[in-house]
């Protein structure tokens, strides 16, 4: 009996120790979970960076926006002769490359009324949450800013990589574009958005980006690549009817009008230039005449001055010569007078001498 009692007591001690160890493990687990929860909460409440490109408003300014019956966003005149469709995904690196290199050239054709551009949202690519990015863009379109969100998502693709399309970043972008956050959240998982995404999948296009011109898929000249900008523009021009002309409000029309007015403008410019030249030449001629007259007058004055000086010099010389001659004549006369007086005196003395001698 005593042995059984000791065995039972030892078993009870082991059980108590196991229960205490379990309690310690539970407490440690609870602490770890609490720390993780606090960390996740801190991370989730931190503001997420959402860079917004600066040229969004200017890039699409003046372009007509609409949606197809499938819900695909479109840019341009719905009656344009050429329809360009881009099957794309914000998570697809090749689609980001197409956006960076070819979209601007296509938008130039959209502005002329030649092209209606359609974006068909797929969910391919390597960046996580491709579906979320497509939903974010379509819901931004519900508030009139699909194309602004479109450009922003492609910027995030390269800027943030695998963390580009988090829900917190979407909301930061919504705030940055000035959209209504509640409307965006209500739209995000709505049936119309889901239907548009399903319509895109049912198109049966599995490779992105894929470009179609008037329903004809373009095959890139480089195997395994994507159509280049020249290839796309060439396909657009080939699909454009020969009798198509830009619409009356085409942005290029003012340039054409300026080109037509150029000959008249050049003629007016030539006339203005000739008039300016003549007007400039007359004052210069007058100034030249006045300058010549002044120089001539100065020359005449100098010559007259020199002539007067010479004449005065000659006159002075003549006067001096005459004066010298007169003085010389006077001197000669005085000398002759002196000599005459001397001779007369001698003669008188000679006559008086004999008389003296006879008296003695």
Average pLDDT over residues 109-135: 97
Which helix (H) or strand (E) is 294 found in, with range? helix 253-359
Q: Residue 71's pLDDT is what? A: 97
Burial (CB count within 10 angstroms: exposed 0-12, middle 13-18, buried 19+), residue 184 = buried
Residue closest to 163 by CA, chosen among 192, 123, 129:
129
In the numeric block, which tokens belong to residue 165?
Answer: 């399309």
Q: Residue 258's pLDDT is what? A: 42
* Pairing label, strands 216-217, 115-121: unpaired
Confidence of residue 4 (pLDDT cuts 50, 70, 90): low
Average pLDDT over residues 259-273: 48
> Is the pTM of the predicted complex or chain greater than 0.75?
no
User: End-to-end distance of the chain based on CA atoms, in angstroms?
Assistant: 233
Q: Residue 250's pLDDT is what? A: 56
Average pLDDT over residues 183-190: 97
Q: What are the b/e assignments for 81-118, b being 16+ CB within 10 Å? A: bbbbbbbbbbbbebbbebbeebbeebbebbbbbbbbbb
CA 129/CA 205 separation, integer angstroms = 19
Residue 29 pLDDT > 70:
yes
Token match 């119309």: residue?
192
Q: Residue 57's pLDDT is what? A: 78
Residue 217 pLDDT > 80:
yes
Query: Between these two residues, 264 and 150, which has the higher pLDDT value?
Result: 150
Q: Residue 37's pLDDT is what? A: 74
Q: Residue 174's pLDDT is what? A: 97
Q: What is the pLDDT of residues 51-80, one digit of tens each?
A: 999 888 789 999 999 999 999 999 999 999
Average pLDDT over residues 160-189: 96
Identify whether the C-beta of residue 56 lies closer than 8 Å to the C-beta of residue 63: no
Average pLDDT over residues 132-146: 97
Q: What is the pLDDT of residues 298-329, one digit of tens each?
A: 444 444 444 444 444 443 434 334 444 344 44
Burial (CB count within 10 angstroms: exposed 0-12, middle 13-18, buried 19+), residue 247 = middle
Mean pLDDT of the chain: 76
Identify whether the C-beta of residue 209 lies closer than 8 Å to the C-beta of residue 98: yes
CA 108/CA 350 separation, integer angstroms = 148
Q: Residue 19's pLDDT is what? A: 81
Out of 109-113, 164-168, 269-273, 343-347, which region has the weakest mean confidence (pLDDT)? 343-347
Token match 């959402």: residue?
50
Q: 327 to each of 247, 313, 324, 332, how far by Cα in Å?
A: 116, 21, 5, 9
Residue 350 pLDDT > 60:
no
């Amino acid at each position: 009996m005593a042995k059984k009692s000791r065995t039972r007591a030892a078993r009870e001690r082991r059980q108590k120790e196991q229960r205490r160890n379990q309690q310690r493990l539970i407490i440690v687990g609870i602490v770890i979970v609490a720390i993780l929860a606090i960390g996740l909460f801190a991370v989730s409440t931190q503001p997420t960076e959402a860079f917004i490109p600066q040229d969004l408003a200017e890039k699409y300014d003046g372009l007509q926006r609409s949606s197809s019956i499938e819900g695909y966003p479109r840019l341009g005149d719905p009656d344009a002769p050429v329809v360009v469709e881009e099957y794309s995904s914000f998570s697809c690196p090749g689609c980001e490359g197409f956006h960076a290199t070819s979209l601007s050239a296509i938008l130039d054709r959209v502005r002329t009324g030649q092209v209606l551009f359609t974006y068909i949202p797929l969910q391919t690519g390597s960046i996580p949450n491709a579906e979320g990015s497509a939903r974010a863009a379509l819901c931004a379109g519900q508030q009139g800013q699909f194309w602004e969100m479109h450009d922003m998502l492609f910027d995030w693709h390269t800027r943030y990589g695998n963390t580009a399309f988090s829900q917190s970043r979407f909301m930061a972008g919504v705030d940055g574009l000035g959209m209504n956050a509640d409307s965006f959240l209500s739209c995000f998982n709505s049936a119309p958005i889901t239907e548009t995404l399903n319509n895109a999948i049912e198109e049966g296009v599995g490779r992105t980006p894929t470009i179609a011109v008037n329903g004809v898929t373009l095959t890139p000249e480089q195997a395994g690549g994507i159509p280049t900008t020249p290839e796309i523009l060439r396909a657009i021009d080939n699909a454009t009817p020969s009798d198509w002309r830009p619409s009356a409000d085409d942005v290029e029309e003012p340039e054409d009008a300026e080109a037509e007015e150029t000959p008249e403008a050049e003629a007016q410019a030539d006339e203005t230039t000739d008039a300016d030249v003549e007007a400039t030449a007359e004052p210069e001629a007058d100034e030249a005449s006045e300058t010549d007259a002044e120089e001539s007058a100065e020359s005449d004055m100098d010559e007259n001055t020199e002539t007067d000086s010479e004449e005065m010099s000659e006159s002075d010389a003549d006067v001096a010569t005459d004066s010298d001659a007169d003085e010389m004549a006077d001197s000669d006369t005085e000398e002759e007078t002196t000599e005459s007086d001397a001779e007369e005196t001698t003669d008188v003395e000679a006559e008086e001498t004999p008389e003296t001698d006879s008296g003695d």
